[in-house]
Structure 1
Amino acid sequence: MSYTLPESWLSVLGEEVSKPYFKELTEFVEQEREQHPVYPPREQVFAALEATPFDQVKVLVLGQDPYHGAGQGHGLCFSVLPGVKTPPSLRNIFKEMREELGHPVPDNGYLMPWAQQGVLLLNAVLTVREAQPNSHKNQGWEKFTDAVIQAVANRPQPAVFVLWGAYAKKKLRLIDTERHAVVQGAHPSPLSAKLFFGSRPFTQINEALDAQGHQPIDWRLPDLAQ
C-alpha cells in the first residue's frame, strides 16, 4: 500500500515518502487496518494537504491525532464531516469565535471553508485506532508532519503557525519566528478551555496575516442543515 501525495506537495515532501521510516509506517498502519477499525479512511489520510495546496498555506493549525470515534476523523484537524456531532474541543473553538468575533455557532463542525482559504488543518499523527487516542503515535507520522511544518517554515513567504497546548508548542523549534508569526495558547479541549477562552486567537491570526500582506481569513461557517 502506498500513499499518494497531492500534486502541490510532491516537490517538497516527495523524498519523505520514499524514506525507510515511511515504508515502515505505512506497513504498520496497514497491519492495524487489517486488525482494527482505523480512522480516517485511507483516502482521507492526506485530506489536509489536498484541501490546502502548499503554495496557498497562510495559516498552519496543528492538532495532535485524529478523532477516534466512528465517522469523526476525516483528515482535517478539529474538523468533522457534515452530519457528525461537533466534538467538545471544536465546540469550544466555536464558542470563542462567537465571543470574540460575534459569528454565530454553525450547525456543523465541517472546517473545509477554512482549509480552502489557506488554513492547513494538520494533525501531528495522521491515523488512529478506533477508541484508542494516541494509539499510532511514535510510529513515524511525527517525522513526516515535522517535514510538513518545516516545508512551510522554509518557504520565502511568511505564514502564521497556531500552536494550542503543550504538545503543539514543542514544534516551535521548527519555526523561524523572525519570519513567521506564531499564535500560542491553551488547548481548546474541556480540560484547558478555561485558559483558551478569551485568548482571541482569531483576531491574532488575522492581524498577523494583515501584517504579512495576506488576506485575512473569514472565519464564518455556513449552516448546512437543509
Structure 2
Amino acid sequence: MNDYARLPEDWARAVAATGYDLAQVYAALDNIYGGPGTHPISPPARADVFRAFHLTPLADVRVVIIGEDPYPDPSQAHGLAFSTPPTYLGERPTSLGRIFGALRRDLGLLPSQDDLSPWAQRGVLLLNVALTHRAGSAMPDLPTWRRFTEEVLGVIDRQLQEVAWLLWGDFANDIADSVPRTNQRHRTFRNAHPRAGRAKRSTLAQSPPFLAASTFLGTDPHIYWTL
C-alpha cells in the first residue's frame, strides 16, 4: 500500500517556501488519527490524506477542482475530492453522479468507475479544502486545513501556467477568491455545487465545463476526461 501520509517532496518544498510550517499539519494529523477515543475519520487511513498531491505532481497540474471536505462516510473517502475508492461498493454519492451526468451531456462519456485517480494522474488536482473529517462531527476540520490549502492555491497561481480552475459552489469559489490569483494565463470556470438542484450559478447540467476546459488547455477532451 502506498503511504500518502506526508506531502511529496515537490509540494512540500513549494509550500514550505511560502513560510508555512508543515510540522503543524503533521502534528495535527497525529492528534486526529492517534488521539485517545478517536472517532472514525474520513479518509479512514492516514496514509491516504495527501493522495491528491502524490498522484498529481506540482509541475503536472493542469486543472484544479476544489471540494469542501471528504465524504462523511469513511468508506467513501480516499484522499481525492469527489472520488470513491475501488473498495467502495455502495451507492454512488449524489455529487459524483451529477458530475458524471454533466460529463455525459458535455462529451458523451460514460465513466466505467467511480475512482477518479485517472484524472489525478493526468493533471487534475482533486483537492478538498479540509483533508480530514471526523465522523459524527457537524463540521469538517477546516481550522486545521484552511491556511494550508490557501498556500497550496497560491503556489499554483504563482508557479504554473495555463491552469483551468473548476470552481463548484460557494465554498470553492470563496476560498479560491480569498487567495490573490493574478496569473492571467489561468482560466476560471464557475458552477453551482454538484449537489445543487437550483442555485445562483449555472449548474453542471446547465453549463458543463469539461469541453471548455479542454479547449482552453489544448487537450483532447475524450481522452483527458475518460474514466
Superposition TM-score tier, normalisation by shorter sequence = 0.7 to 0.9
Letter in 1 for 2:13: S
How many residues are treated as equivalent by the alignment?
A: 214
TM-score by length of 2: 0.84
TM-score by length of 1: 0.84
SS at match of 2:64: strand
Equivalent in the alignment of 2:216: 208
Give RMSD over aligned pairs. 2.4
| CA deviation profile, 1:68-101 (whole Å, cap 9, x unmatched) | 1131110000000124232110000001111111
For residues 174-185 of structure 1, the aligned pairs below 5 Å read 174=179, 175-176=181-182, 178-185=184-191
CA contact under 8 A between 1:48 and 1:75: conserved in structure 2?
yes
Equivalent in the alignment of 1:124: 129
For 1:128 and 1:117, the matched residues in 2 are separated by 27
Equivalent in the alignment of 2:40: 37
For residues 1-226 of structure 1, the aligned pairs below 5 Å read 3-14=5-16, 18=21, 21-22=24-25, 25-26=28-29, 28-30=31-33, 34-40=37-43, 41-84=45-88, 85=90, 86-106=92-112, 108-132=113-137, 134-137=139-142, 139-170=143-174, 171-174=176-179, 175-176=181-182, 178-192=184-198, 195-210=203-218, 218-221=224-227
Structure 1 window deviating more from structure 2 (87-96 vs 14-23): it is 14-23
Identity percentage of aligned residues: 33
| CA deviation profile, 1:126-157 (whole Å, cap 9, x unmatched) | 000124353312x2201111111111111142
CA contact under 8 A between 2:196 and 2:203: conserved in structure 1?
no
SS at match of 1:169: helix
User: What residue ranges of structure 2 are gaps of 5+ in the alignment?
Assistant: none
CA contact under 8 A between 1:25 and 1:141: conserved in structure 2?
no
| CA deviation profile, 1:168-198 (whole Å, cap 9, x unmatched) | 1111242225231111111101544883312
Superposed displacement of residue 37, structure 1: 0.7
